[in-house]
Amino acid sequence: MKEDTGISRRGFLKAAAAFGAAMTIEPTLNKVQAAERIISGNHIVKNSDMKYRTLGSGSAPMEVSALGFGVMGMTYNRSQYPDKKMRHRVIAEAVDRGVNLFDTGIIYGPLTNEIFAGEALAPYKHKVNITTKFGHEVINGKATGRQNSRPEVVRQYCEDSLRRLGIDCIPMFYQHRFDPNTPIEDVAGCINDLIKEGKVQRWGLCEVSPETIRKAHAVCPVTAIQSEYHLMHRLVEENGVLQTCKELGIGFVPYSPINRGFLGGCLNEYTVFDTNNDNRHTLPRFRPEAMRANYRIVNVLQDFGRTRGMTSAQVALGWLLHKAPWIVPIPGTTKISHLEENLRTFDFALADTEWQELEQRVAAIPVVGDRYNAEQQKQVGH
């Protein structure tokens, strides 16, 4: 057969077997849809230079590159960015290097980041996993500032995300923030239905408490929890979230693993953020006086990395990767040089005692400033 048909004799036999399996194991589902989901589900494309990890367990595992890619900053909340051609080039390079987990969300823009992700990843959509998020209410393309995870709204968001991303099934659909007006069991039930219908493969939760994780997981197995986690913010170690993930076999995806770029050493008290497209100027931890005080932590990472040939960003990522084999950070960037830097983290193997030394040195320096303002802080930890 011609290569562009996309299926070999072995692939045909595999497809036939999958079709038969769908007929047998999902009698209550639309059987053609079920078979198509098994046949056309994303295929892990492995690169010998990349390491791979599994998020989740049981009926909801997801094998992904050990470092994912946060797409948000390509268009939203990270000041100026390169033209679309360059941003597409960065995405293509990431895929070529073995990255197959790309993360976006409805609220980023709103909507425009999903559109960008759909366009940039269109040539690779059967080779990568695009995860997106619902929860923040968006009406007529505008964010309302409220949370809305009512089942009928989640369904509509799912349909809209599928269209913007140009895919038939969302590999993982996160609830971006907890909705106090909708029981998490109702949200989980809705996702369970969407999975049965072949529109969603797996789901996750962002910035929630252990209690919420347990309630959700009991209704529909959760594949991953996504929360902020890095050397300057280790709350998930203290509030039971990481322990709950370990106990239930749920993966963990740290967002902002380099603390919104700060731990990479490129930001300081003199950095000017674009107030039209960057939320960092609103965050207490990114006020000039806070950055001046907190730069002592960056200095520790730089000093630690200097004798090991590592940059401070690589130290920050390496520390997270060492924490547990089911943790998959999702750093974002608009620069090929930073992508290369992040991926080169895998070149280094440090002993437990070295990472403990780093933790002790960082812990000796108090972090100045909260990570969120009061309004944003109300939306996390429920």
Tens of pLDDT, residue by residue over 308-321, are: 999 999 999 999 99
Token pair in block for residue 218: 């009991």
- What is the structure's pLDDT at 85? 97
- What is the structure's pLDDT at 376? 75
Instruction: Give, as one character, the DSSP assignment of residue 280.
Output: G
Terminal C-alpha separation, the chain: 54
Give catalytic status of residue 76 as yes or no: no
52's enclosing H/E stretch is strand 52-55
Q: Give yes or no for a contact between 91 and 72, defined as CB atoms under 8 angstroms apart.
A: no
Return the exposure string of 275-293: e unless at least 16 CB atoms fall within 10 Å of the residue's CB, then b.
eeebbbeebebbbeebbeb
Residue with tokens 């100027």: 281
| Least trusted range by pLDDT, from 20-29, 41-50, 100-109, 167-176 | 20-29
The Cα 68–Cα 102 span in angstroms is 6
Can you state the angle between helices 9-25 and 31-40, rounded to 10 degrees? 140
Half-sphere exposure of 161 (CA within 13 A, CB side): 28
Q: What is the dihedral of CA 53, 56, 62, 66, to 10 degrees?
A: -20
Q: Give yes or no for a contact between 139 and 92, defined as CB atoms under 8 angstroms apart.
A: no
pLDDT band at 47 (very low <50, low <70, confident <90, very high): confident
Catalytic residue chosen out of the listed positions 52, 76, 81, 108? 108
Q: Which residues pair with 94 in a beta bridge?
A: none
Pick the closest to residue 68 from 204, 255, 234 (CA basis): 255
Tens of pLDDT, residue by residue over 258-271, are: 999 999 999 999 99
Pick the closest to residue 373 from 286, 284, 304, 302 (CA basis): 284
- What is the structure's pLDDT at 249? 98
Return the exposure string of 318-344: e unless at least 16 CB atoms fall within 10 Å of the residue's CB, then b.
bbbbbbeebbbbbbbbbeeebbebbbb
Pick the closest to residue 170 from 134, 221, 130, 212 (CA basis): 130
Question: Which residues 6+ apart lie within 8 Å of 324 measured at CB?
Answer: 242, 246, 252
The Cα 324–Cα 53 span in angstroms is 10
Taking 90 as the threshold, does the pLDDT of residue 12 lie above it?
A: no
pLDDT band at 146 (very low <50, low <70, confident <90, very high): very high
Taking 90 as the threshold, does the pLDDT of residue 105 lie above it?
A: yes
Half-sphere exposure of 49 (CA within 13 A, CB side): 12
92's enclosing H/E stretch is helix 84-96
pLDDT band at 17 (very low <50, low <70, confident <90, very high): very low
Taking 90 as the threshold, does the pLDDT of residue 88 lie above it?
A: yes
Pick the closest to residue 295 from 285, 305, 304, 280 (CA basis): 285
